Amino acid sequence: MNGSSDNSSSNHPRVAIIGGGIMGISLGYYLSRAGVQVEIFEASPVLGGLAGPISLPDGTAVDRFYHAILSSDRHLRQLCEELGIADRLRFKETRMGFYHQGAIYPMNNIVDFLRFPPLGWVDRFRLGITVVAAQLIRDWMKLERVGVEDWLIGLSGRNTYQNIWRPMLKAKFDGGFEKTPATYIWSRLVRVKSTRSGASQKEEAGHLIGGYPTLMQAMAEKIIAAGGEIHLSTPVQEVIIREGRAAGIRLGDREALFDRVVVTLQTPVFQKLIPGAPQAYHDFLSRTDYIGIVCPLLVLDRPLSGYWTLNITDNSVPFTGVIETTTYIDPSYVGGHHLVYLPKYTAPGSPLQRMSDEEIRAMWMMHLKRMFPDFDESQVRYFLIHRERYVEPLHYIHQTHLIPPVKTPVENLYLSTTAQIYPALTNGESVSRHAFDSARVVLQDLQQLPAREATFS
C-alpha cells in the first residue's frame, strides 16, 4: 500500500500521522477530505492496530481481538455510508448471559430478568432501577466525582453489588477498581441498552464483512486518491523537535519535514518518540495508566455457548468473559470457523503477561471444561494467544484534568489517542468520532498556515 497518487501538490499543507490504526486512518481520511496532504506511517505490515486482522494457519483472516458494531453507532455507520460500504454491514439478534456459581443464566429480556436466580425480587428490582437510572443521567460530570462502588451500592444494593457488580469489576480491572469513577458503569449500561430496540428489547450486534480492515481499506483508498501516502512496515524513531516546534519525523537515517505531526499511539509509546519535549509534559503524560490484555482465541468446529457475551461473576475463572463473535458473524465469512475470545484484562505488572502460551492454554482449558461440560479439546481447530500491554486507558475519580489535550505544548505537534476518549468506552464508534474531532483541531490551526511540502534528506 506504500505509495501515493500522481496528483500530489505543494499547494496543500503536509501532515504526518504516526499510527495506522482506526484512529490514524480515520484522522488521515478526514484531513485529506479537507484538502490536506497526509502521510501515514505504520510500523506493522498491515493497517489496523488493535483492530487489525490475523491470518489463521489455513489462511483465513479474522479479528485479532473481538469487535462489534452496534445499531446505535451512528458516526461509524454514517462513515460507512460515506465510503460506499454500508451494504457490507450485517446485523443479527444476539444473546447475553451470566456465568454464576457454576451455571449459565440468560439475560436478554424482561422474562429472563424476572427469573434471574442469583438475585431475589428486591435485588432484581434495584438492578432494574440501576439500568433505568443510567439512561436518565445526562450530566456525567457528577458521576466522575463518585466511586463506582459507592454508586452501585447506592442504586443496586449491597447484595447485588457483591454478587454481580463486584466480581465483574474485579475481572475487568484485574482487581484494582477502587479509584474507578461511576462513569465507567454508566457508559457501559448506556451503550449496552442502546443495542436493544422495540418492545421485545432484543439485542443486536453487527460487523462489516471482512471486519474493520474493510473500513480501513476504503479510507486508505480515498487518502491515496487525494494525493496522500501510506507507509507500512515503517516505524518512526522520533518526532523532530527544534526550538520548541515539531518539524517532522525521523525514519532511520532519514528526516521527513512536515507542517504538522499527529501521533495516534498510546501515551507511553508516544513519550518514546518525543525525547525533545519538555520534561513537565513527560511527567504529565506519565500519570496515565493502562490495562493490558491476554486474549486467547479459540477457533472451533462448532458453536460453544450460543451467547455473544457471557459475563463471568466467578473470580476463580481466569478470563474476564466468553465472547463468541460468530453468534453475529456468519461463520461462512470466517472460513466456516466458530470464533471464541477468552480475554483477561491485566493490571500493570501482571504475571499473566509473562506466562508462557502453554501455561495460559492449560489454565484456560481447565476452566473452560468446567464451565462447558460438553466441550472437548478435539473441537479446537486452532488456539492462538495475543497480548498487548497498553489496551485501555484507566481514568480515576475526579481526574479529568489528567486527560491530555489534542494540542500538545510542542508547537505543530498533536496527540490523538484513546486516553482522550472519556467518558465513552473505547470502541470503533468512539475512536472514529474522536479522530473526526481531532482533525477539526488540526484543520483550525492550518487555516492560517502557508503550505510547505515535505522533503527527505
Domain residue extents for the chain: 14-67+211-288+404-446, 88-92+204-208+289-394, 110-195
Mean pLDDT of the region 72-101: 96
First-to-last CA distance in the chain? 23
Q: Which CATH architecture has domain 110-195?
A: Orthogonal Bundle (1.10)
293 contacts 345 by C-beta, under 8 angstroms: yes
Cα distance between residue 438 and residue 405, in whole Å: 10
Cα distance between residue 434 and residue 329, in whole Å: 26
Cell of 308: 455473544
pTM: 0.93
Which tens digits make up the pLDDT trace of 140-158?
999 999 999 999 999 999 9
At residue 450, the pLDDT reads 46
Judged against a pLDDT cut of 80, whether residue 451 lies above it is answered with no
Fold of 14-67+211-288+404-446: FAD/NAD(P)-binding domain (3.50.50)
Q: Which CATH architecture has domain 88-92+204-208+289-394?
A: Alpha-Beta Complex (3.90)
Which tens digits make up the pLDDT trace of 175-230?
889 999 999 999 999 987 766 555 555 789 999 999 999 999 999 999 999 999 99
Spatial strand order of the sheet with 202-208 comes to 89-94, 202-208, 196-197
Task: For the beta carbon of residue 201, count every other beta carbon within 10 angstroms.
Answer: 13
Cα distance between residue 169 and residue 215, in whole Å: 32
231 contacts 39 by C-beta, under 8 angstroms: yes
